[in-house]
Every structure is written in structure tokens, then in C-alpha cells.
């Protein structure tokens, strides 16, 4: 395969990154470097809470303001450009129901997918940066089945280009 073909394969196809791929990846890695920032891979999370504070109410106007950044479950603000989990939480609760599918085609550290998992929506995440996909898989690497009212959501992650979502 020449370089051109390799690039084509790299950019034109979505490649699924499974939990097994993630487990293989973290055998030798404690962290990844993304845009000069080291992002730790936690492997085992010590989760204290799975949701925003009890007194949080969903946004009702066009101006959204949150009491804090949001650090429940595995959310962390250390991925460049990641958004507060309050944002996908509001969108998912407003526009979908349990069992629906949510797509984030530039998922970064996977904030949207973590929220989808917590809110019992199936989800597909894509990122062009393999390290970002591994960070997202790391943040999805938690169990909360005792809280499930519906059923275990299907969460799929892909390494690929949002301009060609050929596997969807
Ligand atoms: C601002 S970050 C998203 C952050 C995410 N909302 C979170 O909370 O972590 C944008 C992401 O888009 C990815 N990206 C940029 N161009 C892309 C493309 N053409 N296809 C897929 N992902 C892309 C980057 O690698 C980066 O991880």
C-alpha cells in the first residue's frame, strides 16, 4: 500500500475502536499528549456522583448559565475545547428519549457520549484523532448498571473523519 492509499484509508474510512482496542492501548500508556497537553488515562475511576446537583434544573431560555463546570461521573475539563456536560445533558434530555441514538461526529474527550450513557441513549462518537478516541473510551470506562431504568445503551466509537461517516 503506498502513502496515498494509506492516507485515503486513514481519512476516508471510519474504523471502529472497541473496548478491546482501548484495553490494548492502555497496556503501555498512562496518558496521551494532545496539543501539548498531557491527558491522563484513568483506567479505574473513583466516581462519587453520576449526575448534576439535585437542585439543578434544566435550562429554559436561550441564555444558559451553569452553577459550575460539571464534574460528575468521569467528566473533566482538561481536554482542549471540551464542553461542559451540562450542554449535551440539556440537549439530549430536550430532544431525545431513552433508547434513541445520539451522534457526536467530533467527540473529543467524549463528553456527549458519557452523557448519552448516563441518560440511557445509544451513541456513536467519531474523532479524527486516535488519542482523543482513546480518551473518550477511557471516560466511558465505568459501570452504573444499578441505576439503569431502561437497558444498557450501545456506545460505539470510531476513529475517522466527520466528512465521511461511511459506517453510519
Ligand atoms: C472542540 S473538540 C470537541 C470537544 C468535545 N465536545 C468534548 O467535550 O470533549 C473538537 C474535536 O474535533 C476533532 N476533529 C476535528 N476535525 C475533525 C474531523 N474532520 N472529523 C472528526 N473529528 C474532527 C478534533 O480532533 C477534536 O477532538
Each residue of 28-85: pLDDT tens digit? 999 999 999 999 999 889 999 999 999 999 999 999 999 899 999 999 999 989 999 9
Residues 8, 10, 16, 19: what is their CA dihedral angle, to the nearest 10 degrees?
A: 170
Ligand 1 binding residues, C-beta < 6 A: 79, 81-83, 105-109, 111, 126-129, 132, 161-163
The fraction of the chain above a pLDDT of 90, given in percent, is 81
| Rounded distance from Cα 28 to ligand 1 centre (Å) | 24
Whether 168 is in a domain gets the answer no
Instruction: List the domain range (segments joined by +) for residue 35.
Output: 3-159
Whether 166 is in a domain gets the answer no
Please determine, for residue 91, whether its predicted confidence score (pLDDT) is greater than 90: yes
* Mean pLDDT for all residues in the chain: 91
Residue 147: pLDDT band with limits 50, 70, 90: low
Whether 165 is in a domain gets the answer no
CB atoms within 10 A of CB 98: 13
Please determine, for residue 11, whether its predicted confidence score (pLDDT) is greater than 90: no
Whether 167 is in a domain gets the answer no
Residue 83 CB partners (closer than 8 Å, separation 6+):
111
Whether 72 is in a domain gets the answer yes
- Say what the pLDDT of residue 134 is: 98
Phi, psi of 159 (to 5 degrees): -95, 115
| Rounded distance from Cα 107 to ligand 1 centre (Å) | 5
Whether 164 is in a domain gets the answer no
Whether 56 is in a domain gets the answer yes
Q: How many whole angstroms separate alpha carbon 163 and alpha carbon 168?
A: 12
What SS3 state is found at 36?
Answer: coil
Whether 39 is in a domain gets the answer yes
Give the count of domains, the chain: 1
| Rounded distance from Cα 96 to ligand 1 centre (Å) | 22
pTM to 2 decimals? 0.92
- Say what the pLDDT of residue 8 is: 56
- Say what the pLDDT of residue 1 is: 57
Please determine, for residue 3, whether its predicted confidence score (pLDDT) is greater than 70: no
Amino acid at each position: 500500500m503506498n502513502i496515498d492509499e494509506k492516507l485515503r484509508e486513514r481519512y476516508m474510512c471510519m474504523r471502529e475502536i472497541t473496548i478491546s482496542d482501548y484495553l490494548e492501548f492502555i497496556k503501555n500508556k498512562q496518558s496521551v499528549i494532545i496539543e501539548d497537553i498531557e491527558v491522563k488515562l484513568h483506567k479505574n475511576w473513583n466516581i462519587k456522583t453520576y449526575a448534576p446537583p439535585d437542585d439543578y434544573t434544566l435550562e429554559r431560555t436561550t441564555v444558559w448559565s451553569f452553577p459550575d463546570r460539571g464534574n460528575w461521573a468521569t467528566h473533566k475539563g482538561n481536554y482542549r475545547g471540551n464542553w461542559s456536560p451540562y450542554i449535551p445533558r440539556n440537549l439530549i434530555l430536550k430532544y431525545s428519549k431513552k433508547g434513541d441514538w445520539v451522534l457526536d461526529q467530533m467527540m473529543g474527550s467524549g463528553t456527549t457520549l458519557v452523557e448519552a450513557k448516563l441518560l440511557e441513549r445509544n451513541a456513536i462518537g467519531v474523532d479524527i484523532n486516535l488519542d482523543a478516541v482513546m480518551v473518550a473510551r477511557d471516560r466511558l470506562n465505568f459501570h452504573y448498571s444499578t441505576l439503569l431504568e431502561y437497558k444498557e445503551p450501545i456506545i460505539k466509537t470510531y476513529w475517522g473523519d466527520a466528512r465521511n461517516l461511511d459506517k453510519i
